[in-house]
Amino acid sequence: MTTPDRRRTGSRDGRTGRSAATRPGRAALAVVLTVQTALLAGQVAGPVAPATAAAPGGAARIVPVPASAEAVPGETFTLAPRARIVLAPGAGPEVGGVADELAELLRPATGYPLPVTNAGAARSGDLELRLVPAAELGDEGYRLDVTAGGVRLAAARPAGLFYGVQTLRQLLPPWIESRTVRPGPWTVAGVRIEDVPRYAYRGVMLDIARHFQPPAVVKRLVDQAAAYKVNTLHLHVGDDQGFRIAIDGRPELTEIGAQFSIDNDPGGHWTQAEYVDVVEYAAAHFMTVIPEVDTPGHTNAIIMSYAGPEADPVLPDVNCSNRNPPVWNLTGAVGYSALCPESPHTWEILTDVVAQLSALTPGPYYHFGGDEVPASILSHERYVDFVDRKAELVAAHGKIPVGWAEISQASFDRPGAAPAVAQFWNNGNPAGAGGDTARRAVQKGMKVVMSPANHTYLDMRQWPESPLGLGWAGILDVSHFYHWSGTSSDPGSYIPARTVGGETLPAVTDADILGVESPMWSETLRTGADIEFQAFPRLPATAEIGWSPNVHPERTLESFVDRIAGHGLRWQLAGQNFHTSPQVPWRVDVSAPDVASDSRTVDGALASISAPGAAPDQVTATVDWGDGSSFPAIVQGTSGTVTRVNGLYTATASHRYARDGVYRASVTVTRPGGASSSTGFTVTVDTCTRTVTGQHRGPLVAGAGVTCLAGATVSGPVTVRPGGALIASAASIRGPVQAAGASGVELLGGSVAGPVTLTGTTGQLVVERVRVDGPLVVTGTDADTAPLLAGNTVAGPLVCTGNTPAPSDGGIPNTVRGPATGQCRDL
């Protein structure tokens, strides 16, 4: 199989390399190699099949698990070079953007052009994206049909097409995520999927206030989260340690308030243009951004901007913290700062912040925090007064107010109160008082976003000794994210009704739940790699809880970890960090492109290996070279660290083939625990510089390089000059063959109508299954391997003298109608 990344190995025998223009035609080459191959015991007999990846595929690997997936027996789609991505005429820019993203995803690994077109109907082998009137699919659902004839993706809205594309990419082999060409094939088993989300809100929160992050890190998280159908980015941009978005007319908020990060690490902020760029980037991935500037607590950066020693103007009345004058506290402490509800300056500042961020953010929500304000800082009455007023301010700027569930203390049940959303984060017993903030929210008619810290907080440690993360909500591995209550993962039954002092507080059910979110606070997370390490594989668990139906045969922890295990390779190909949780049965995968060599020595990197969590010396690789030999390969690469996953490894090996030919090789890789994976690849050994086929009239002289006779008929003598080489496969030579000082001679099958005289050969010498109508004389060979004279019919003497090593018949005796003398006496 020819692929765009087909490799050529360097020459090892001193022969001159050739350009593509001087290579023999593929038809001629096929004759040479087929004949040579047929002569070799242990080599491929018959056509060589294309290499196939051993990675498992199909709907059984999709995360989140789709609502409905039905296999279509006997159907397999293969993405081919001529495939197109076809849109219906008049498809809008959002649909075009989805198609462009699909093309950009598929092109690097396949090397295919994959044009996007809306001219004409889809034809066999195409991928079609189409909007259809289908109310049952809602805004985000899709229908995906895969048959041998093509891929048909339909949705009622562009978001549905986008999420269908995320499913399609998971149906393709994991190597499709490579940014360089891989060998394929790119197959998808026939399937019909109809899929809609359970919840409309499926979020991830990133805190860039405690540790500042540049826009590029956030965009990367958008890419990674959107692949799992996460549709909300909650961006925490203001806290005690920093204020991160420029506000026009208030330069002090970033000049002073953005100087630092936690632990006195470097600070920073975004311009409004950078913020808008991230918002638009998220929107292109059908993700809504929700900005959060936490208030009235978690506001020390704001307070220091107006009441600290660098403040100008100085507005000390905004400070209701436990320190007056305020001081920077760059630790992880909480509950010490608050803006004063009574200060008009507080509301002037917050009005500017809310107005500008709301104008820059097209989504429906604005998150104003509201958590961790102890009564020692603000009394209950002052806190409620602040929340009521802040919610009105947010609503006045056209946004739905969102806050941490403590805001349910406020008066959201009063007549005329704006609709609001409470984000539940308590890690206490949900059947007891731990669920009361959410119950109070439901009681007051609020919607709830479910983020119980002990099941969704991505900043929690994943094992007790982890240097990343905190532990106040528990040590949380994948199972804690997937199972919220015992063996259940149902947000809709997590908080039951409870009676307190004769009052029954309502249960929090699906009717009340807007969706789910995994927050990631950044006290210990300094880099994008830290963020990824904490997010994966746990964020996809939250994504599945938010998207997939609660009752589904694959909606189990056992199924989830088995499905997500296959995504480790995808993440490695993307250069994405992740934790190799011991709860996930990580796989081993291998990919090996075909090899084309103009030398018989194949040497160097043969395969890429994915083995998440295993060191290179724990991974074994064995190469079956396709010629009856099999040897271990060397596995090399960069091991992981405590907080960094290992990269892809490389299997390197060296082997010398005895003949030109096409060999069906394979590499098998095994990781600790015994999991293994194999893939085949084709090795084409073609040393010819000149190929002769058909009729050649008159004498033929083989000069420099390698002359190959591919089933040719030569009506005259053949002479090999010193330093030249001859490979004759099933050739009919109507005259003698003479070589003196040749670098190699191989006569494979066919006939010679005259004597064969081979003197002083310095390289490989093979005469096998040839009819020689005259003497066969081999003298003075000086090579690394013994001359092979096997299975020939010789009509004259067989003479061998002065050869080093002595000739051999390889166990296949010759038929000689004359004496066999010298070193050939027993052949």
Active site residues: 372
Short-list 564, 588, 577, CA closest to 671 = 588
Whether residue 147 contacts residue 75, with contact meaning beta carbons closer than 8 Å, is answered with yes
Secondary structure (3-state) at 627: coil
Strands 620-624 and 661-670: antiparallel
Strands (E), 318-443: 365-369, 400-404, 421-424
- Which letter does DSSP use for residue 493 in this model? G
Q: Which helix (H) or strand (E) holds 152?
A: strand 150-155
What is the Cα–Cα distance from 192 to 175, expressed in whole angstroms? 23
Alpha helix (H) ranges present in 451-580?
Answer: 453-456, 478-482, 528-535, 538-547, 557-565, 568-573
Alpha helix (H) ranges present in 483-614?
Answer: 528-535, 538-547, 557-565, 568-573
Strands 503-505 and 718-720: unpaired
User: Which residue carries 């969704």 as its tokens?
Assistant: 456
Question: Within 10 Å of residue 416's Cβ, how many Cβ atoms?
Answer: 5
How many residues are recorded in the chain? 827
**SS3 of 716-770:** CCEEECCCCEEEEECCEECCCEEEECCCEEEEECCEECCCEEEECCCCCEEEECC
What is the Cα–Cα distance from 401 to 407, expressed in whole angstroms? 10
Packed helices 557-565 and 538-547: angle between N→C axes, nearest 10 degrees = 120
Short-list 294, 262, 406, CA closest to 302 = 294
Q: Which helix (H) or strand (E) holds 304?
A: helix 300-307
Which residues is 270 bridged to in the sheet?
245
Say if residue 283 is exposed, middle or buried (CB neighbours under 10 Å; 0-12, 13-18, 19+): middle
> Which pairs with CB-CB distance under 8 Å and at least 24 residues apart come from 562-567?
563/60, 563/61, 563/62, 563/63, 563/65, 564/63, 564/478, 564/537, 564/540, 566/55, 566/56, 566/61, 566/174, 567/61, 567/63, 567/170, 567/174, 567/537, 567/540
Residues 6 or more apart whose Cβ sits within 8 Å of residue 275: 215, 245, 360
Q: Report the greatest alpha carbon distance in the chain.
A: 119
- The token pair that represents 155 in the structure block: 């949705």
What is the Cα–Cα distance from 280 to 286, expressed in whole angstroms? 10
**18-51 per-residue burial string, b: 16 or more CB within 10 A, e: under 16:** eeeeebbeeebbebbbbbbbbbbeebbeeebeeb
